[in-house]
Amino acid sequence: MRTLILASMIVAAGPALAATIAKPVVDNSQCSRELASVDRSFAAAMIDLQRNGDPTNRCSAWRRHIDVMQKASVVFSRCTAPDAREGAVSQMKGSIADFEAMLSQAQCP
C-alpha cells in the first residue's frame, strides 16, 4: 500500500510539472502538442497505476509508467525553457529511478 501511495504521489506531480515548468522554449505548435500529450499520458498512467495496484498487475503498470516518464523527459529536454529544463529533466530521472527501485524491491520479472 505504501508503494502505491508513493507511486500515486509521483504520478500526481507529472501533470503539475508539465503545466507549471514545461513552458516551450519557442512558442511553437509542435512543443505545445507534445506537452499536452505528456499531460494526457501522465493522467492515463495515474489511472493505470490505480487500477493495477494489485501484485499481479503492478509490475507491468510500473513499467508502463517508466516508459511514460522516459518519453516525458525527452519532451521536457526539448520543449522546456532553459531556466526550468534541468529541474524538469532531473525530476523525471529521479522518478524513473524510484519506480525502477520499486520494480527491483518487488522482484518483478
Q: What is the pLDDT of residues 60-98, one digit of tens each?
A: 999 999 999 999 999 999 998 888 999 999 999 999 999
Cell triple for 27 = 512558442
CB 72 within 8 A of CB 18: yes
* C-alpha R_g of the chain: 14
pTM of the model: 0.72
Q: How many CA atoms lie within 13 A of 38 on its CB side?
A: 32
Summarize pLDDT for 36-49 with one digit per residue, the tens: 999 999 999 999 99
Residue 84 to residue 93: CA distance in whole angstroms: 14
